[in-house]
Structure 1
Amino acid sequence: MSQPTPPSSLSYRDAGVDIDAGDRLVQAIKPLARRTFRPEVLGGIGGFGAMFSLPPGYREPVLVSGTDGVGTKLKLAFQLNRHDTVGIDLVAMSVNDILVQGAEPLFFLDYFACGKLDVEVAAQVVAGIAAGCEQAGCALIGGETAEMPGMYAPGEYDLAGFAVGIVERSRLIDGRRIRPGDVVLGLASSGAHSNGYSLIRRIVELHQLDLSADFDGRSLGEVLLTPTRIYVKPVLALLNALPVKGLAHITGGGLLENIPRILPEQVVAVLEGGCWPMPRLFTWLKALGGITDQELYRVFNCGIGLVAVVEATDAQAAMELLEQAGETVWRIGEIRQRCGAEPQVQIHRL
C-alpha cells in the first residue's frame, strides 16, 4: 500500500495554529488592558511575565490570591453567540473571593483556550475581562491565549482567571471574631452569577425552552447571561469605615455551604427567608425543575450574592454605607449559639 506524499513544507498553520491571529489579538487587547493599569504596573502586555510593585504604606502586607473559571455558563454564550459578558463573570468570581478576606484586588491574569482562534470573539471576551477589572479597580496585566486544534468543539473556548490582592495582616477577615448576637447582612445578586448552570441548562433542555422568549421584559437568554456582580469597591469602602467580622461570597454551594466557611464551630447563622425577596428567576427554576427548598438554597445564591456579618450596633450604619455605594442590602438574619452538631446555616420560613 502506497503512502501519501507529504507536502514539501509544513507550517504551524497547516497543523491548525495561526500565530498571526494570536499576534492580532494581542494588538487588539493592549488598549483594553492599558485602561485598567494602576500606578504599580511595571511594563505592559506582551512580556514573558507581568510585573507589579507592591503599593506603599503597608507595614505587614499579606498577598491573597484566587483563581476560578466561568463554568458551563459558557455553553449559553456559545449558543447565543454572545461573548461580551462572560469576561466580567471571570473577573468577578476571583476578585469577590479574595475580597471577602479583606483584600483589595491588585492585578488579574486570564487564560483563554480554544481549538481555533477567532480574533473577534476573543477580543469580545477580553473586553469583558477588562470591564470587570475596571469595576474591581485591578489591573489586567497579562494572560495566555492557547490555540489547541482538536481539544475543543468548533466555536467553543474555555476561560480561567487568577487574581492577586493585598491586605494589612491586622485587617484580615477570617470570621474568628463572629459571636452570638451579630447581624447577618445580605447584598443582592444580579442573577444566578456563575453557579448552578449545569442544572439551569438541564431545565432549559428538558422543557425545550426558547432562549429568545420574554422573561420580565428581557429575553430569557439575556437574563441567564447577566454577569456576576462585582462587590469590590462598595465593600472596600465599608471596610474602611466600620469593623466587619465576616464576609462570604455566595458561589457554588449556595447559602447553605458558603456561609459556614466563615463561621466558628460554636455558632450558627439563622436566616429569615422572608427578609429578602426571592428573585423570580429562582422561583421559576424551582417550579420547572421540581427543585426542593434544600436543593435550591444549596445550589443557587437565591438573590444574595455576598453576606456580611457585623456587630448589631453597626448593622444600620453598614447598610446605609452599602446603599450609598449603590448596593441593595437587607438584614437577613443573626448569629446564635450552636446546639450540638446542628447545621451551621438555618433558613426559616422557606
Structure 2
Amino acid sequence: MVLLKTKTYAESGVDIHKEEEAINEIISNFTMKRKGIGKPLGGHYAGMIEFHDHALVLCTDGVGSKVLLASMMKKWDTIGIDCIAMNVNDAICVGAEPLSFVDYLAIDDPNPKITNEIGKGLAKGAELSNISIIGGETASLPEIINGFDLAGTCLAYVDKNKIITGETIEPEDKIIGLSSSGIHSNGYTLARKIIEESTFSFQDPFPDTKKSIGEVLLTPTNIYVKEIVALLKEIKVHGLAHITGGGLRNLLRLKKNVKFVINHPFPPNDIFTFLSKQGEIKPKEMYQTFNMGLGFVIVVKESDVDQTMKILKKHSHADVQLIGQIEKGEGVTLPSENISYP
C-alpha cells in the first residue's frame, strides 16, 4: 500500500461545508413568494408548494462524478437508475408519492450508443419508482462539457395534512434503517482519488467477487419508493431521511433539538471497508462522506416498530433493521465508533 495524499472529501476537491455556504448564498436571493395556488410550503429534502388540498413536491439532483466512472468503464446502462433514485428517494422524505420526471443530459458528443444506454437506465429507474418520464433536455456542449453530466427533476404529491417534516420526532422514538447497495451516488470524488492514488486500477478484480473494482463502484443506487409508499398508507411516520452526501449528518435535517443515536448500524458494505483501508480514511470522515451501508432511515414511535418492520420487509429488497433510537440532546452519535456530529 502506497502513502496516499488524499485523506478527506475536502482534500479530494469537494468541501461540503463550503458547498453549504455557496448554496445559502444562492438561496438568500430568493425573496419572491407566490400566494394562493403555488404558495411555498417549505421542505427539507424537497420543496413543496400548495395545490388545493395537496402539496406538489419538486426536487432536482444529479449523479455527480459517478458519470466519470461510467465513461471510464464504458458502462452507461445503470447511471440513469442513479439519476432517478437520487430524486425519488428525496421526494419520499416529505411523505410524497413520486409521479413524473424530466431529465437533463449535457454532453460533449451526443453519441447515440451512449445516449441509448443512458436511456435504458432512466427507463429502469422509472419502472422501479412507478413514475413516468414525460420529457427532458439534451444539450450538446462541446465547449463546456468533457464527457457528460446527467441530472433530473421529480414531481411528487402529498396530502397537505400528511406532510412529514420531522417535527413530530421525539425522544423514545425508534430509528429503522434500510440498507444501501453500495456507494450509491455520493462520495465518488474521494472514492476515485483513493483508487487512483493506490496500487489498484478500476479494472482490477474486487476481492472475493467476479466483478472489477469499477463495476462494484457502479452498482446502482437503491430505490426506496415502493416500500415507503406502502408504509405511509398504514403507519404514521415521524421522520424520513435519504442518506446521501454528508452521510449520517443527513439526520440533522429532520429535527434539531433531539439526539439520533445509531447503536446498531448496518455493517459497512465491502466497498467501504476496501476504500477505508486503501485510503487510510478515518471512520469519522467515512461516516460523513459515505452512507456506510445505510441508505434510508425511518423514524416511528416505539409501538409502531413491529408493524413498520413487517411492512418494509414485505415490500423492500433492501435489508431492514432497527438501528437506533431518539434521545434527549442534540446531534447524531454512533457509539460503536465513538463518533458524534453536532
- TM-score tier, shorter chain, comes to 0.7 to 0.9
TM score, norm. by length of structure 1: 0.79
Deviations 1:146-198 (A, max 9, x none): 11232223xx1111100010000011000010010000011000100000000
Q: Which runs of 5+ in 2 are unaligned?
A: 1-50, 338-342
Does 2:287 match 1:300? no
Deviations 1:270-328 (A, max 9, x none): 111x4422222111111111111110110000000000000111112111111111331
Corresponding residue for 1:105?
A: 98
Corresponding residue for 1:236?
A: 229
Q: Which runs of 5+ in 1 are unaligned?
A: 1-57
Does 2:247 match 1:254? yes
Q: 1:80 to 1:243 in 2, by over 3 A?
A: same
Corresponding residue for 1:198?
A: 189
- Counterparts of 1:147-226 in structure 2, within 5 Å, are 147-153=140-146, 156-215=147-206, 216-217=208-209, 218-226=211-219
Matched position secondary structure for 1:124 = helix
- Counterparts of 1:283-294 in structure 2, within 5 Å, are 283-294=273-284
Q: 1:254 to 1:239 in 2, by over 3 A?
A: same
User: Structure 1 counterpart of 2:174, which letter?
Assistant: V
User: Structure 2 counterpart of 1:333, which letter?
Assistant: G
Corresponding residue for 2:260?
A: 269
Consecutive aligned runs of 4 or more in structure 1 exceeding 4 Å deviation: none
User: Structure 1 counterpart of 2:250, which letter?
Assistant: N
Question: 1:143: how far off?
Answer: 0.3
**Contact persistence 1:59–1:168 (CA under 8 A):** no
Range 321-330 or range 95-104, more displaced: 321-330
Corresponding residue for 1:24?
A: none
Does 2:136 match 1:143? yes
The 2-side partners of 1:308 and 1:186 are apart by: 6
Q: How many residue pairs are counted as aligned between the two chains?
A: 284
TM score, norm. by length of structure 2: 0.81
CA RMSD of aligned residues (A): 1.3
User: Structure 2 counterpart of 1:261, which letter?
Assistant: R
The 1-side partners of 2:68 and 2:91 are apart by: 26
What is the aligned-residue identity percentage? 43
Corresponding residue for 1:319?
A: 309
- Counterparts of 1:19-98 in structure 2, within 5 Å, are 60-98=53-91
User: Structure 1 counterpart of 2:201, which letter?
Assistant: D
The 2-side partners of 1:337 and 1:189 are apart by: 28
Matched position secondary structure for 1:214 = coil
**Contact persistence 1:65–1:162 (CA under 8 A):** yes
The 2-side partners of 1:178 and 1:191 are apart by: 28
User: Structure 2 counterpart of 1:132, which letter?
Assistant: G
Does 2:325 match 1:334? yes
Larger Rg: 1
Corresponding residue for 2:31?
A: none
The 2-side partners of 1:146 and 1:88 are apart by: 20
Deviations 1:124-161 (A, max 9, x none): 101111110111111100001111232223xx111110
**Contact persistence 1:111–1:160 (CA under 8 A):** yes
The 1-side partners of 2:135 and 2:199 are apart by: 40
